[in-house]
Structure 1
Amino acid sequence: MSIFKAAETIGNALEKALEVPLLILSVIMTFTVLLGVLFRYVFVSPLSWTEEFSRYMMIWMALLAVAPCIWRHEHVGVTMFVKKLPRLLAKGIIFISNAFILFFLYILVVYGFKMAEGGKAQLSTALNTSMYWWLMSVPVSALLCIVMLICKMILDIRRKDLDEILMAEDIVATVKREENLEFDEPTLKGDGR
């Protein structure tokens, strides 16, 4: 198996594996928020834990969703300047940019684990659980992002079209389709008044 095939297989498998926990976290968070609203406004007896629990679910969900977004090229980026450069220079700049992102993610992993270790003895306010489990969202997410970004960088080596490197596949298809369209000049139609 080539390194490109392995990178694609790992990236696709990790993306699929993350879809289920993301869906579950989304459902749990939504249910918890609705439960909190129901008890607060309908039964006029608010539950003390729903706000905190839904907040931690949202944090885990948002941070876990970063890795699939890296894989799908769905993060915001300013590409106007890079697209105007020669292809090899642009690919080099993109590679260096991704290397900086990898370094940042590495820092998040190292200090994220330290932060989680430091939070072991600290208890969450309403849930009365160790903050370790909630703080682990940072290094876990960063590790997943590192794997996804390395797989993406490997695949970017053989990609020829800059749009394939910079944009999500569905956006590339839309842009290419729109570039081939010819638009007529708009005509203003008056009603004769």
Structure 2
Amino acid sequence: MERRGWETLESLSRIIERTSALLAGSLLIINIMDIVMGIVFRYLLKNSVIWTEEVARYSLVWLVMLGAAGALTRGDHMAIDFLVPKFPGWLKKTSVFLRLTIQVIVLFVLIWYGAQNVRGTWHMKTMALGIPKAIVLMAVPLGMSILLVQLLLLEFMKTRKDENR
């Protein structure tokens, strides 16, 4: 039973990572196509399309927020880790615990304030697209929630691997 639960957590983490990468890649393609379209319309056809700048900005925001979990899984987030491996065992464990605690606190703060921001902006519309600003701002609490789940899954799996050694 325990092995099955372990495999379920690994599967969930893999699904989150792949979904995050797929969504971020799709948004990158949308972003690039939108920018190219804006350039073509503005400079070749001499006719600006007003909403291209908003689509580029908002797709980039969503790309970053949704892609964060995939980047975490692959180890693509910036880290300065030359000092911690040189620490003695107890100090290494303490620094890892403090790092995880700070990450969880920061993510909870981003989720909380992001959700408060979303809640207060449903009545506001974007200038060009005319969509509720809450849809754009929802990227922060949603992306950070996914990142928090992935962070906790990865830490739990790492701890389990270390215990089994």
User: 1:95, 1:153 within 8 Å by CA — same for their partners in 2?
Assistant: no
Matches within 5 A, 1:55-70: 55-70=57-72
User: 1:63, 1:141 within 8 Å by CA — same for their partners in 2?
Assistant: yes
> What TM-score do the two structures reach when normalised by structure 1?
0.77
**Distance in 1 separating the partners of 2:118 and 2:19:** 24
State yes or no: 1:99 paired with 2:101: yes
User: 1:4, 1:154 within 8 Å by CA — same for their partners in 2?
Assistant: no
**Distance in 1 separating the partners of 2:86 and 2:149:** 29
Matches within 5 A, 1:25-64: 25-64=27-66
Equivalent residue number for residue 118 of structure 1:
120
User: 2:73, 2:154 within 8 Å by CA — same for their partners in 1?
Assistant: yes
How large is the Cα RMSD of the aligned pairs?
1.6
Aligned sequence identity (%): 24
**Distance in 1 separating the partners of 2:97 and 2:24:** 29
CA shift for structure 1 position 152: 1.2
CA shift for structure 1 position 158: 3.8
Equivalent residue number for residue 17 of structure 2:
15
CA shift for structure 1 position 88: 4.5
Q: Deviations over 1:51-105 (max 9, x none)?
A: 1111100110011111111122221111122111124531331122112101110
User: 2:20, 2:68 within 8 Å by CA — same for their partners in 1?
Assistant: no
CA shift for structure 1 position 119: 1.2
Equivalent residue number for residue 157 of structure 2:
155
**Distance in 2 separating the partners of 1:82 and 1:11:** 26
**Distance in 2 separating the partners of 1:49 and 1:93:** 47
> What TM-score do the two structures reach when normalised by structure 2?
0.89
CA shift for structure 1 position 7: 2.9
2:154 match: secondary structure: helix
Runs of 5+ unmatched residues, structure 1: 161-193
CA shift for structure 1 position 12: 0.8
Larger radius of gyration, structure 1 or 2? Answer: 1
**Distance in 1 separating the partners of 2:144 and 2:95:** 22
Matched residue type, 2:79 = G
User: Structure 1 residues 4 and 89 mapped into 2: Cα distance closer, same or farther (>3 Å)?
Assistant: farther
**Distance in 2 separating the partners of 1:136 and 1:15:** 20
Corresponding residue pairs, total? 160
**Distance in 1 separating the partners of 2:110 and 2:100:** 15
**Distance in 2 separating the partners of 1:23 and 1:130:** 24
Matches within 5 A, 1:80-99: 80-99=82-101
1:80 match: secondary structure: coil
